Amino acid sequence: MQFEEYRNLWVFVETEENTAKSVGYELLSPGRVLADKMGGKLVAVVIGGNVKDVAEKTIDYGADEVILVEGDEYFNYSTDAYSYAMKTLVEKYKPSTILIGATNNGRDLGPKMACDLNTGLTADCTMLDYDTETGNMIWTRPAFGGNLMAMILCPDNRPQLGTVRPGIFKKPEPVTGKIGTMIYEDIHIAPENIRTKLLDRIKEVAEAVNLEEAEIIVSGGRGVGSPEGFEIIRRLAEELNATVGASRAVVDAGWMPHAHQVGQTGKTVSPKLYIACGISGAIQHSAGITGSDCIVAINKDEEAPIFDVADYGIVGDLFTVIPELIKEIQKLNA
């Protein structure tokens, strides 16, 4: 085998202010399946300021081993510090594959690692598989605005790197007391080699629209008719304590900010309840909501593709249906 020295599958579990981002735990779910397929271990990598508890939780979520790197220089993310730590670890342990969450930081770290390690990177993946015959990961990601799904291989270099969208996979059920190995690595970088410094953290509107972790989402599409038409979507969301989403058509029309966009070219979501109002259900939108536990579609076109993925469908005008829904929800709440 050309790459027999490269083994195991790594999941980078991103932390922020000593707390794990949900996507890191999510990736341990497909990571388990893929590691078993390749006959290797599932290894979590945790880097941060004081994150031993995060490292321990990765074992509860299914990791066989966790590599922990701690230091004051890792309390806030920086490209220089994190990429240096990852490069040092990869050169020592030689993993075959590394999964990274496609967060803002993950989308920064992945390309830097690919450059440092002279390997390829597949960004924004939505499906993952492993070819046992060739040892290649099969990375699937949307292309051409979500109208085509591309399958990408990295046959000539190791490790194989990919960033994966948050919300694609569900977190595995934690098993308290699961046995795993904790490996401490003492890696530090001189302050003068970190070229950026975090001065302040500003919570923007985009961060407030947390679609990836929302339990209930009410989304509006072109059928809402206008920016003013979204008022009824907001009212329904308010009654359900839900987050407001939007289709690509709505965002392209300027009716809603991009932070609300659901779909392959927006946010991939997996809430307990997803209500699609006036959304036709184009492939790029439907593929972004398939992780939802329950999908309810409201559309006056009974032939709309959204009904193919919905668990419950209501054929009717959303401006007639939603007020009735609101009334019933208010009765239940009372």
Q: 264 labelled as ligand-binding?
A: yes
262 is in an annotated binding site: yes
Q: Is 160 annotated as a binding residue?
A: no
Is 281 labeled as ligand-binding? yes
Give the per-residue SS3 of the chain: CCCCCCEEEEEEECEECCEECHHHHHHHHHHHHHHHHHCCCEEEEEEECCCHHHHHHHHHCCCCEEEEEECHHHCCCCHHHHHHHHHHHHHHHCEEEEEEECCHHHHHHHHHHHHHHCCCEEEEECEEEEECCCCEEEEEEEECCCCEEEEECCCCCCCEEEEECCCCCCCCCCCCCCCCEEEECCCCCCHHHCCCCCCCCCCCHHHHCCCCCCCEEEEECHHHCCCCCHHHHHHHHHHHCCEEEECHHHHHCCCCCHHHEECCCCECCCCCEEEEECCCCCHHHHCCCCCCCEEEEEECCCCCCHHHHCCEEEECCHHHHHHHHHHHHHHHHC
Is residue 283 annotated as involved in ligand binding? Answer: yes
Residue 284 in marked binding region: yes
Rounded Cα distance between 173 and 170, Å, is: 9
Q: Is 266 annotated as a binding residue?
A: no
265 is in an annotated binding site: yes
261 is in an annotated binding site: yes
| 145 is an annotated ligand-binding site residue | no
Cα(243)–Cα(129) distance, rounded to whole angstroms?
31
Report whether 280 belongs to an annotated binding site: yes
71 is in an annotated binding site: no
Gap between the Cα atoms of 19 and 103, Å rounded? 14
Which phi and psi (to 5°) does residue 120 adopt?
-95, 165
Annotated binding site: 222, 247-248, 261-265, 278-285, 299
Annotated binding site for FAD: 222, 247-248, 261-265, 278-285, 299
